[in-house]
A and B are shown apart, each in its own frame.
Chain A
Amino acid sequence: MSARTELLLAIADDELVLGWRDSEWTGIAPYLEEDVAFSSIAQNEIGHARALYELAAAELGTTADELAFDRRPEEYRCAPLVQLRRMEWARTIARHWLYETADEIRLDVLKASDDSAIAGIAAKIDREEAYHRMHAEMWIDRLLATDEGRTRLNEAVDELWPYALGVLDADLQGELRRRAEERLGRELPDVEPVSRGRHEAELRDLWEEMTIVRRSAPAGAQW
């Protein structure tokens, strides 16, 4: 597997798993208008994953669905941040914002890639994620505007911070710290990043559920 494919799969897996997690709020988000908006974000993320898998699939001679569903849990390359199951709104917003901030940094690098397919897809994803960032920023502002909101947000950020760092390669983590600290107006703890390669138990649970219907029919069955 080329370095290019590894990279594509890592980002695709991030988007797939985060999109899967975010889609879990569809129907039960804090209120209806937000439910509709957040569901679009989840769908966009799955859409990004699909586009990235398709690029990787072309190289590997397989299909996007096979890459998304038919690998073993240990083979997924997503960051631990997205693997966590946190059906709590402050943590969901914190993760959303932290991930989007990290992803923006990552996409800036990819948009400048010599590989035109990668640069192209990074630009498309970035254009769509501008709306995600708008949404995240809006929530951060709103949470920071009240004592209760700020407390809940900060607790959530502190919990997720080591995982957020782990989304990025070491050389980009400093930039994430700089942006997050500026935004929150405080220093964030000095911690060991929880890096890619580690598989949380929750990922296995997700995989079991995600593949339960698919595994019920022989490989290649149509759905």
Chain B
Amino acid sequence: MIFEVFRQERKGQPFQHAGSFDAPDDRFAEIYAREQFGRRQESAALWLVPRAELREIDDFPDEFDLKYRRVDGYSIKTRLREARERAGTLVSDESA
């Protein structure tokens, strides 16, 4: 079986994919993961998952360009300038 290993460098850090290896079963996998990714105490923790259990999703369609959910869907420069002009708070060298 192929196992994937995710390791955490330090507590508080995210778990990141570190590699994969072959093992006959869970017990062997635990020992091998421990040795291959932790023998120098270089990882705070490891997650071990059989590759067959992992599912990847790598397509994210956006047919209608629904940008309102993202920061780049907003352009406030023009209206902000207008509002400042009206309020008399526009500083002359302001560009935004």
Q: Which residues 41-81 of A sit at the B interface, judged by CB distance below 8 A?
A: none
Interface size class of B (residues with CB under 8 A): 10 to 19
Which of A33, A131, A138, A142 gathers the greatest number of chain B CB atoms within 10 Å?
Answer: A33
Q: Report whether B39 and A40 are in contact in the complex, using a CB–CB cutoff of 8 Å.
A: yes
Q: A40-B35, A40-B39 are in contact. Are A33 and B27 (CB under 8 A)?
A: no
Whether a CB of chain B sits under 8 angstroms from the CB of A87 is no
- Give the chain A neighbours of B28 by CB distance below 8 A: 33, 138, 142
The interface residues of chain A lying within 8 Å CB-to-CB of B31 are 37, 131, 134-135, 138
Tell me the number of A-to-B contacts counted with CB atoms below 8 Å.
31
Residue B16 is within 8 A (CB to CB) of chain A in the complex: no
| Of B17-25, B52-60, B66-74, B85-93, the one touching chain A | B17-25
Q: Do residues A36 and B24 form an inter-chain contact, with CB atoms below 8 A?
A: no
- Cross-chain contact of B35 among A36, A141, A142 (Cβ < 8 A): A36
For the complex formed, measure the closest distance between the CB of A32 and the CB atoms of chain B, giving whole angstroms.
8
Contact A37 B24 (CB under 8 A): no
**With contacts A36-B32, A40-B35 known, what are 6 further pairs, Cβ within 8 A?**
A31-B22, A36-B39, A37-B34, A40-B39, A142-B24, A142-B25
B interface residues (Cβ-Cβ under 8 A, vs A): 21-25, 27-28, 31-32, 34-36, 39
25 of the cross-chain contacts (CB-CB < 8 Å) are A33-B21, A33-B22, A33-B23, A33-B28, A33-B32, A33-B35, A34-B32, A36-B32, A36-B35, A36-B36, A36-B39, A37-B31, A37-B32, A37-B34, A40-B35, A131-B31, A131-B34, A135-B31, A138-B27, A138-B28, A138-B31, A141-B27, A142-B24, A142-B25, A142-B28
